[in-house]
Amino acid sequence: MPELPEVEVVRAGLEPAVTGAVIAGVEVFETRSLRRHDHTAGGFVEQLEGRTILGAARRGKFLWMPLSSGRALVTHLGMSGQVLLRDPGHTGDGLLRIRMHLDQPSYGEVWLHFVDQRIFGSMSVDALVPTSDGLPGGYSGAASGDWDDLIPSQVAHIARDPIDPAFSDDGFRDILARKASGIKRVLLDQGVVSGIGNIYADEALWAARLHYEQPADSLSTVTVRRLLAEVRRVLGKALAEGGTSFDAQYVNVNGASGYFAHSLNVYGQQGRPCPRCGTPVVRESFMNRGSHFCPRCQRLRALRR
């Protein structure tokens, strides 16, 4: 599944092409891709055509484009969704679910394709609501506007992610102090911190020398700060390399795959030597997937109660 770096790479690629663009036309080829759209508030196509896109923002794995109508086009990539920018007339994208015809003042006509193999992703038009803390709703690379402190209603329950400038390190530490669950389970809880999926959790925990089952409330303030630093380092490195790509589904807006998969230390490396100490990396079952760690570098520590 695409994680925060993959979605941020898409957002950053979309932003210059969609900002200021008028949605001249919308074609829906698969209605299942509208599963999150509230049709009682108006039709998907009708709420988009003729509207101007004001920017592109993201919180965790949710991406949205605020509209001149005061609402937002929300995109969730699901397991295999792709948002691709294409020249007019492009016909090479199989499994095309939605096409938007954009009139961009700087580039002319641009086609935006939503491609999704498994149809777990979605597009919808949603209401924008004020953020609970009055801070920007999500991460945006450019100066925004009247929509800065707003967030789509279906995204409001998602916590901020660690590369969001408004993310609170102290608030995160305070939440961990009240959580007896293993630290990886907490890192994957989108209500606590968003955007960290299985891959980057394993990589950050390895870098911080923490066992995935180490109780969150047993971590000292210094350890929490070290963990956050490693989370940001891992996410930052993945962003620089275009995200993690294991197959052709994980691509940016131009169809290029990421290369961070070549830099993984423990994820998917079971049986191979730990890059730090040489001990074979172990994979254990965890939440219907797997946790990868070094049994020597990441020992489960005795609790300090």
Catalytic residues: 2-3, 61, 289
- Residue 53 makes CB contacts below 8 A (sequence gap 6+) with 18, 19, 20, 21, 22, 23, 65, 66, 67, 68, 73, 102
Backbone angles phi, psi at 150, to 5 degrees: -115, 160
What's the chain's Rg over C-alpha atoms? Answer: 20
237 is in an annotated binding site: no
Alpha-carbon gap, residue 173 to 284, rounded angstroms = 27
Tokens of 287: 């939440």
Q: Output the CA–CA distances (angstroms, integers) from residue 157 to 132, 190, 213, in the order listed.
A: 10, 8, 25
118 is in an annotated binding site: yes
DSSP 36: T
- Residue 90 makes CB contacts below 8 A (sequence gap 6+) with 111, 113
Nearest to 155 by CA among 63, 222, 231: 63
Residue set of the binding site: 118, 179
Residue set of the binding site for DNA: 118, 179
